[in-house]
Chains A and B, each alone.
Chain A
Amino acid sequence: MIRLTLKEEPPLRLSAEALLPERLAGRSAGEIERLPLAVGRTGGAVGDWFRVVAGDTAAIEIEGPCHRLDRIGAGMDAGSITVRGDTGAYLGLGMRGGSIAVEGSAGFGAAADLRGGTMRIAGNAGDGLGGALPGAAAGMRDGTVIVGGKAGAAAGARLRRGLIVIAGDVGAGCGAEMIAGTVIVGGAAGAYAGAAMRRGSVLALGGAERLGSGFVDCGVHDLVFLRLLARHVAALGLDALARRIGPLRRFAGDAAVSGRGELLVAP
C-alpha cells in the first residue's frame, strides 16, 4: 500500500486526480514526491503536501485533513483508494474500475460520470451524487455507489446505469431525469424524486416527501425483481437495508416526459 499523509490542510482546493494506483505503479517514494501537484495557480509537487510511504501500488491510502482534496480517484481504472477522512468535490469523477472507500463524508459531485467500479462513503455525500457533468446527457453510467449516511440534492440525476444505495435520507430531486438504473434510499426521499425520469427505479424505503403530478399510483406489489435486488444489497454488506426491501407501492412515471420509470415507496 502507498500511504499519502497530508502534512497540513491546503489553503486552496487541491486536485488529487494524479494520485491514481496506475500512475504511481513502479515509482519509489522519492519519485512520487517529485510528481507535479499544483495548488490553485501555484506549481508544486506531491512532496510539498504529502509524506509518502511507498509500497504495493495497487492500493493507496490517503490520510489527513482531506476535505479540500478534489477529484480523488478521478478516471481510475483499477486498484483501490482509501481515504481516512472527508473528501472534497468530484470524488471518483469518471472512474472506470477499482474501488474507493471513504471513512468520512464526500463533497459535491461524488461518483459523477462514474463508468464502473465500486465507491463506498461511510459518512454523507453532498449534492449531485452520481450525477452528470454540466451539459452532459447522462450521469453515472455504471458501477456501484454506497453511502452510509445521507446524500444531498439531485442524487442519481440523469443516472444511465448502475446502482446507488443511500442508507439515510436524500435531498430534493433524487433520480431526476433518470434514464435507467436503480437508486435505493433507506431513509426519506426529498421533494420531487424522479422528476422527469424516463426509465429506471427509485426505491424510497423511508417514504417520499412530495411526488410530482406525473406519477400514477399503481398499488402495492411484491415484485420478484425486488427479491433479487435485496439479495444483491445483502451481498454488498447491507443486510439491515436488504431486509426492508419487500412489497412496495409503485408509482409509475414521470408522465410529464412520457416516462416509464418508477418510484417504489414503502407502503
Chain B
Amino acid sequence: MMLDGVAIDDTFAEAFGMTGTRLVITADSAAWARHAAESMTGFATSIIACGVEAGIEGELAPGDTPDGRPGIAVLLFGMSADALGKAVRDRIGQCVLTCPGTACFAGLDGEKRVPLGRALRYFGDGRQAAKRIGGKRYWRIPVMEGEFLCEDQAPVQDSVGGGNLLLLGRSRPAVLAATERAVAAMRRVPGAIMPFPGGIARSGSKLGSRYKFLIASTNDAFCPTLKGVVDSALDADIAAVLEIVIDGLSEQAVGDAMAAGMRAACAGAAGELARISAGNYGGKLGAFKFSLRDLLR
C-alpha cells in the first residue's frame, strides 16, 4: 500500500491496556498553567523507568475550565490505578501545588477514582478545608501566596498505551521533518498524547538484551548504522528511523492519532520519507493491535 509515494507496511502496532486519567491545570495565565503542566509531565516518557507516561493533551480556553481561567489538559497513564494514583499525587505535589496561581481539577467522569486533593491536603498542616460546590468536593490548602485549590479525587479509566509508528526516511533531516508533521497532526486528536520529547523517540527498543539487568535494549533491526551487521529491517536507502509512541484514553483515540499522523507525515514527503512501519511483538503480548493499512482505509 502506498500513500503519497510512501510505502505503508502490512503490519500492526501492538499496544497494551493501561489506566489513564485527564487532569485540568488552571492558572492566572496560560503561560503559568503550561509551566505547571510541563513540569508535571516531565520525565514521563516510558513506564519502564518513569513509572508513568504523561503528556499535554491541549490548551483550554477560560470558558472551558472549571474556574474560568486559562488551563492545560494533561493525560497520565499507569499500569494500575494504584501506580497511577501515587504518581499523580507526587507530580501534583511537586509540580502543581508549587506553581504560582495554579489549581488542579479532574477532567474525566467515572466511578473508579484516584486521590488528588485528599492525598495532598495534609500539606495544610490542619489548616486545610474541604469545600463542596455543585456536588464536587475540593480541598483548599493554604500556601504562601493564598490557597491551592485541588479537586478531591480524579476518575480514571481503562486506556491504551504503546501505540506506535516507525517512520523510515532517506535522510535524517527529512525523516525528522515528516515526523514533526505527524506529531503536529496527532496533537489535534483529543484523548491522545505522545509522551516522548517533542512527541518523538529516536531510541526505539526491543524486549530484552544480552545483559541480565536490562529488560529492554536498542531496536537494532531498525538502527541504520547496523545494516549488514544484524538482521536489519532496513532497506539500503534508509538513513534514519524515528518512532512516535501514542497513549490514549481509548482505542479509538490511539487509532485516530495514528491515522492522522501517517497522513500528515506522507503529505508532501516528496520522496524523502520511504516507509511507515510499526513495532509489535508478534501479537502475543498486547491486547490491542492497530493495523496500519486498516487505519488508513
- Enumerate chain A interface residues (CB-CB to B < 8 A): 161, 163, 180-182, 199, 201, 221-225, 227-229, 231-232, 235, 260
Contact = CB atoms under 8 A, between A and B. Distances in A.
Given A227-B69, A231-B68, A260-B127, A222 B146 contact: yes
B164 to A, nearest CB: 39
B174 to A, nearest CB: 47
A227 B133 CA distance: 11
A224 B133 contact: no
Contact of B146 (A182, A199, A221, A235): A221
A235 B134 contact: yes
A228 B147 contact: no
B188 interface: no
Given A180-B130, A228-B134, 13 more contacts: A163-B133, A181-B132, A199-B129, A221-B146, A222-B146, A223-B140, A223-B149, A224-B103, A224-B149, A227-B69, A229-B133, A231-B67, A260-B127
Interface residues of B, number: 18
Interface in B62-84: 66-69
Interface in B114-147: 127, 129-134, 138, 140, 146-147
A181 B67 CA distance: 19
A155 B129 CA distance: 22
A13 B132 CA distance: 37
Contacts of A180: 130
A232 B66 CA distance: 10
A222 B140 CA distance: 13
Given A224-B67, A224-B103, A225-B138, A161 B146 contact: no
Interface of B: 26, 66-69, 103, 127, 129-134, 138, 140, 146-147, 149
Chain B facing A: main interface SS:
strand
A223 B68 contact: no
Contacts of B133: 163, 182, 225, 228-229, 232
A201 B131 contact: yes
Contact of A227 (B68, B127, B131, B140): B68
Contacts of B147: 221, 223-225
B149 A225 contact: yes
A221 to B, nearest CB: 6
Given A161-B132, A260-B127, A223 B66 contact: no
A232 to B, nearest CB: 4
A227 B63 CA distance: 12
Nearest to B68: A227
A163 B132 CA distance: 9
Chain A facing B: main interface SS:
mixed
A9 to B, nearest CB: 40
Nearest to B26: A224
B130 to A, nearest CB: 8
A44 to B, nearest CB: 41
Nearest to B138: A225
Contact of B67 (A161, A182, A199, A228): A228
Nearest to A224: B149
B103 A232 contact: no
B110 to A, nearest CB: 20
B127 A225 contact: no
Contacts of B103: 224
Contacts of B26: 224
Contacts of B131: 182, 201, 225
15 contacts: A180-B130, A221-B146, A225-B133, A225-B138, A225-B140, A225-B149, A228-B66, A228-B67, A228-B149, A229-B133, A231-B68, A231-B134, A232-B134, A235-B134, A260-B129
A224 B66 CA distance: 10
A168 B146 CA distance: 29
Contacts of A221: 146-147
A1 B247 CA distance: 52
Nearest to B128: A260
A225 B131 CA distance: 8
Q: Which 3 A-B pairs have the closest CB atoms?
A: A224-B149, A227-B67, A232-B134
Given A231-B68, A260-B127, A223 B134 contact: no
A254 B26 CA distance: 32
B150 to A, nearest CB: 10
Nearest to A221: B146
Contacts of B130: 180
Nearest to B136: A228
Contacts of A224: 26, 67, 69, 103, 147, 149
Contacts of A235: 134
Nearest to A222: B146
A199 B138 CA distance: 15
Contacts of B127: 260
Contacts of A181: 132
A43 B140 CA distance: 54
Contacts of B140: 223, 225
Nearest to A228: B133
